[in-house]
Structure 1
Amino acid sequence: MFETYAKLYRLPGAFLFSLAGFIARFPMSFIGLSTLMLIRHTHGQYWIAGLVDAASIIGFAGAAPWLARLVDRHGQAQVMRPSLTVSILANIALITVALQTGPVWLLCILAAIAGAFSGSIGAMVRSRWSHLLEDPKKLKSAFALESALDELVFMLGPVLATALTASVHPASGLVLAILFALFGGMWFFSLKSTQPTPSKHLPVDPQVAERGSVMRYPALWAIGATFVGAGTLFGALDVSILEFTKVLGHPATSGIQLGIMAGGSLVGALIYGSRDWPLPLWAMYLAGMALLSIGVTGFLFAHTQITMGIIMFVAGLVVAPIITIAYSIVEFAIPRQQITEGLTWMNTFMNLGVALGSFTGGVFVDHYSYTGGLWVTAIASWFMFWIALATSRLIRSALGSSGTLRELATRRAKAWKDARASRPATKPAKGKPKRVLKPSDHDYKLTPAEFEAEIGLANPTEDVRRFPPSTIGDISGQETQPDVQ
């Protein structure tokens, strides 16, 4: 299993940008928690702490897609170095004002600025993998690997931040987040050899120019809606488990309890990414949603921490694979020069769901104890499943044909062969033998615009995947297949 991931890391520059990205996105697992603990200590009220944290989430959700579009257009380093600097300075100012018991409105402004300019590091890491790998099966493994690293972050980050805040200083968790972002982020963006080519240097794709925002692709709304449900599930689960462990008399174990689910998700990501799956992506996506809904509903029947831990681990096994499959669908549903923006929108939907789940779960926990919060998680999971089921035709159309990774890889290889065959022959440079490509050769490179044009996914003569926004949710009639040459 691990040989699959070892091969990925042997690619030039892959290990370095994956490691740097891992460090850079470490704060995402505990920066909100650290902010809550700091503001609760300095201002003495949870509602103020929650308000400041919500300002940060709203800032990120509002600005991240816009920032991602700039990244796709001008390049990761050119945009994110100054942006990350602004975010770090805003967090430093937030700590300073909080320790001086400054006004709440100023704390909210600083938190919103810090969130808005932080960017989606995870989306940019996956964008680099998408730029580096053309084989969909290898890309699936790379996305699964990054999902596993995400789960590792969520296992370790909150525990580390909580320990530092309790034993060192109330602001130490937020200081640690700043250090991770500064060191990891600046290192990541200094690795320019693996960053995707900015779209301003590529030929203009008429479809991209006409559509503008990547969210004009209906399949992304379908995936985004399920991500809102996923965020709601996770946000409500955090609040519910805090109350669950408190009621059982072990409040200090809440982080460990949540980490069990993250551990299951990590195992699931590694297993999923190491195997070739013959099923279509849309079918695995729908099946994963069904299994997750059943597992999360089981939380309602757990009355001890051991029972809850077992159920959470089992349910967690499908979390990372679902997210990995969703990212793969997004990667195939949109033009390659908009991949960072598309993946960032998914993270935005997830964060909006977390904010909704934290609030809704908190209200139900206040009125009905932890059981009320767990009902919110169960409802959110079934919402995800029904959205995935209702939009399955849309997702199948976006993927085209069978939608399996093998079929997608074949289409890409054929597009490469046809594109090269249609170009006029050129004489090789003196002293360099002409390379002969075999039909099975997967070491091909088209620019994103060339690839999308040749494969017929971005600007075909009649693209059955594209629907006007007004038709989302009202798609009927006989299913048609894309015309893939």
Structure 2
Amino acid sequence: MHNSQPAPTLIERTGVAYFPLALVARLPFAMMVVGVLTLVVSARDSLQLGGISSAVVGIGSAIVGPFIGAAADRYGQRVALLIAAVTHSAALVALAFIAYSSSPDWAMLAVAFTVGATSPQTSPMSRSRLVLIIQNFLPPARRPKVMSQVLAYESAADEVVFVFGPVIVGVLATFFGPRTPILAAAALTILFIIAFAMHHTSAPAKSVAERAATLAPAAELARPSLLVVVAGIAGVGLVFGSTLTALTAFMQDLGKPEAAGLFYGIMGIGSAILAISVSFFSPKFTLRYRWLVFGVFVVAGEALLATASSTGQIALGLAITGIGIGPLLVTLYGLGTARSPEGRSATVMTMLGSGVILGQSLSSAVGGTIAENVGVAAALALPFLAAAFTMLAGVVNWLLTPSGSGRDV
């Protein structure tokens, strides 16, 4: 940095305010699935319908999310985010009122789908912005290290928000009623997503000529080496959702359902700390190795959870799962970034983000149904199956990326 022209840094390009803004702008997304579950269970008095509603939110987000990402790659993030923010807030407010109305369940589920479909994809958009800034403005020698740090930070930010989102929902619902978390998410969306959309880092629209030159064909999004990463990250979502549901069922049996969020925090805190540490790993510890190594921790932790008979064993299982899950998320986002077709960064990031939310919401619905109809022991076994699926995807990835192929990043 002693030369006359100091190399630009990422913070100089983004401004200091960018990171807290992008962090708070993620909160509505993290509150959405649990907020809908809480609202519907309270309004319609059915855990099963609550689980189905939150699954429908996740499915809406997973189906439409990548199209919002594709729109951002094509027309710029600002317009895509502004339209999403306004429609999402309106859908949340509508849901808060239709849930308590005499409308049939299918009408409420249709609104729940709209809530998911319009959800602003803050995390993927933020990742995509930072990746583009690093690729376009930083000196080539500094790019790999900064990229690793940014992906680690972004995953840690997601972790923090995914752990505290449900906690905030719990606090607001307990003190101010079940409708409050959804209305709070609507208000946060209008305030912070619009501010995030208007921030100067917002990826600009491309002209038709630029798009033709820099947009890889959509068919490249279906490459097996990219789809296996989407499968792996959906597996992480399955782990999140099934763990939270199993935990809630276990604590409900003990007569302490509100303690589930606190225990879930054990996994999240370790996970966030370890996610940040990923940027210090040696480059020799390649991403395909990391997937398998951290996958082992997740499988081991969830195996403990599946056989748990005490809260102590639950806490230990969650702590071990946390050691693996944070770095595993960073690894999967790293692979997704490395394998993104040119000009499709926001699309790939939304595919990955949608994979997490789809896995989370589907496993919440299935877990809730199994806990209610089969029992807690069966629900506790689901996170182990989800972890095994994630590990299997890691093995497939290993086979798809032979060493020295240049794709074993």
Greater relative contact order (Cα < 8 A, sep 6+): 2
Distance 1:109 1:214, change over 3 A: farther
| Distance (Å, rounded) in 1 between the aligned partners of 2:300 and 2:375 | 22
Contact 1:233 1:380 in 2 (8 A): yes
Q: Indicate yes or no: 2:38 matched with 1:37.
A: yes
Q: Indicate yes or no: 2:166 matched with 1:158.
A: yes
| Distance (Å, rounded) in 2 between the aligned partners of 1:13 and 1:91 | 30
Question: What are the Cα deviations for residues 239-277 of structure 1, in whole angstroms up to 9, with x where unaligned?
Answer: 110111122332221110111101111111121134444
- Structure-2 residue corresponding to 1:233: 239
Contact 2:55 2:364 in 1 (8 A): no
- 1:137 CA drift (Å): 1.9
- 1:401 CA drift (Å): 2.8
- Structure-2 residue corresponding to 1:124: 125
Q: Indicate yes or no: 2:400 matched with 1:394.
A: yes
- Structure-2 residue corresponding to 1:311: 317
- 1:300 CA drift (Å): 2.5
Contact 1:58 1:112 in 2 (8 A): yes
In structure 2, what residue type is equivalent to 1:231?
G
* Structure with the largest fraction of helix: 2
| Distance (Å, rounded) in 1 between the aligned partners of 2:388 and 2:221 | 24
Contact 1:137 1:276 in 2 (8 A): no
- Structure-2 residue corresponding to 1:110: 111
Distance 1:171 1:148, change over 3 A: same
Question: Please, which moves more after superposition, 234-243 or 247-256?
Answer: 247-256
- 1:402 CA drift (Å): 7.4
SS of match in other structure, 1:317: helix
- Structure-2 residue corresponding to 1:476: none
Question: In the TM superposition, what are the counterparts of 1:211-230 in structure 2 within 5 Å?
Answer: 211-230=217-236
Question: In the TM superposition, what are the counterparts of 1:22-171 in structure 2 within 5 Å?
Answer: 22-134=23-135, 135-171=143-179
In structure 1, what residue type is equivalent to 2:288?
W
In structure 2, what residue type is equivalent to 1:203?
E
Question: In the TM superposition, what are the counterparts of 1:323-342 in structure 2 within 5 Å?
Answer: 323-342=329-348
Distance 1:47 1:347, change over 3 A: same
SS of match in other structure, 1:12: helix
Contact 1:280 1:402 in 2 (8 A): no
| Distance (Å, rounded) in 1 between the aligned partners of 2:178 and 2:9 | 40
Distance 1:213 1:67, change over 3 A: farther
Distance 1:242 1:266, change over 3 A: same
Distance 1:377 1:84, change over 3 A: same
SS of match in other structure, 1:15: coil
| Distance (Å, rounded) in 1 between the aligned partners of 2:310 and 2:175 | 29
- 1:120 CA drift (Å): 1.7
Question: Aligned pair count?
Answer: 395
Percent identity among equivalent residues?
Answer: 22
- 1:188 CA drift (Å): 0.6
Q: Indicate yes or no: 2:384 matched with 1:378.
A: yes
Q: Which is greater in Rg?
A: 1
In structure 2, what residue type is equivalent to 1:358?
S
Give the aligned CA root-mean-square deviation in angstroms.
2.3
The TM-score with structure 2 as length reference comes to 0.89
Where do 5+ consecutive residues of structure 1 fail to align?
1-6, 405-485
Contact 2:120 2:193 in 1 (8 A): no
Contact 1:56 1:111 in 2 (8 A): yes
- 1:48 CA drift (Å): 3.1
Contact 2:232 2:332 in 1 (8 A): no
Contact 2:294 2:323 in 1 (8 A): no
- Structure-1 residue corresponding to 2:205: 198
Give 4+ residue runs of structure 1 displaced > 6 Å after superposition.
Answer: none
Q: Indicate yes or no: 2:368 matched with 1:362.
A: yes
Where do 5+ consecutive residues of structure 2 fail to align?
1-7, 136-142
| Distance (Å, rounded) in 1 between the aligned partners of 2:317 and 2:303 | 10
Contact 1:226 1:384 in 2 (8 A): yes
| Distance (Å, rounded) in 2 between the aligned partners of 1:389 and 1:301 | 25
Question: What are the Cα deviations for residues 302-360 of structure 1, in whole angstroms up to 9, with x where unaligned?
Answer: 32222321221122022121111111111111234101101111122222222331233
In structure 1, what residue type is equivalent to 2:30?
S
Distance 1:181 1:37, change over 3 A: same
- Structure-2 residue corresponding to 1:269: 275
Question: Please, which moves more after superposition, 254-263 or 56-65?
Answer: 56-65
